[in-house]
Amino acid sequence: MIAFALVAGVVAWMYGRILSGLAAEWASSPDASYGLVLAGVAAYLLWQRRHAFAGAIDANGSRALPLAALGAGAALFVAGQLSADLFLTRLSLVVVAAAAIGFLAGTRALRTIAAPLAFLAMAVPLPAILVNAVTLPLQLVASRLAESTLTLAGVPVFRDGNVLALPSATLEVAQACSGLRSLVSLLAIGVLLAWMTRGGALRRAAIVALAVPIAIAMNAWRIAATGIACETFGPRAASGAWHEFMGWATFVLSVMVLGLAQRAIEPREMPRPEWRTLPRETLAERSAVA
């Protein structure tokens, strides 16, 4: 326990300012607000796995892999500091913490809390260069799918890039409407569902992969629904309470669709063999006959 306390103190001293800045960004930036949820999920899973972690501690296990990971985390920290890259610096915190836990408790104990560490890594806001590279393609895809949906619904629409011209209003699929935030959040939920799913790695990977098309399709549906609302109730439906409601409703619906996909992919529980439910006397009689 003393070793854990010392290591925690060193990590807190190294990353104190970084953690406070990360928490401030989670609380103030709409593009990073999902980090609060993911950090909460990580804390919950860590609490749930505390007994398994304590039971898996191995003080005599190999320390080679944790030491290598610790060196990689330190290299990430130095690279982030020298290049003023917050993403690398923040990501190094997760790597260093995982390496320190593996060094003190053993790799077997580290595996028991792999899921909380993964959620903590996903809570780190994406770097701006990646956000900028992904946002525009997402905007264009959402615009095309929304145009097709509106056309199928019988609403006249003309698309110019990420702008949808309707008879009563003009909708611009802005950067905030690209669906990146809901995509990242749904991917995190997909990881959680995959972690809870019985079956092999292929089934779990399929659940995570399905989060991408579901998030993109549902975001396009949200934009199309906003366009239909504009035609029905007027241009004010594109902003205000209706716009916020559609955002939340779409995300909840996306989670439900992903949950249904998880249930379809997860293998059904095999029925128990009949002999396991027999009384002890019957089993003894069968053994004697055999």
| pLDDT, tens only, 227-286 | 888 888 877 777 777 777 888 888 899 999 999 999 898 877 644 444 344 444 444 444
- Average pLDDT, integer, range 86-113: 89
- Average pLDDT, integer, range 6-19: 78
Judge whether residue 218 has pLDDT over 90: yes
Q: What is the mean pLDDT of the chain?
A: 83
| pLDDT, tens only, 140-190 | 999 999 999 999 988 898 998 888 898 888 888 887 788 888 888 898 888
User: Residue 258: what pLDDT?
Assistant: 93
| pLDDT, tens only, 187-203 | 888 888 888 888 788 88
- Average pLDDT, integer, range 68-82: 89
| pLDDT, tens only, 220-241 | 999 998 888 888 887 777 777 7
Instruction: Give the dihedral sign, CA 12/18/21/26.
Output: negative
Q: What residue segments make up the domains of the chain, in order of their start?
A: 2-125, 129-265
Mutual angle of helices 34-48 and 114-122, in 10-degree steps: 170
Judge whether residue 32 has pLDDT over 70: yes
| pLDDT confidence bin for 4, thresholds 50/70/90 | low
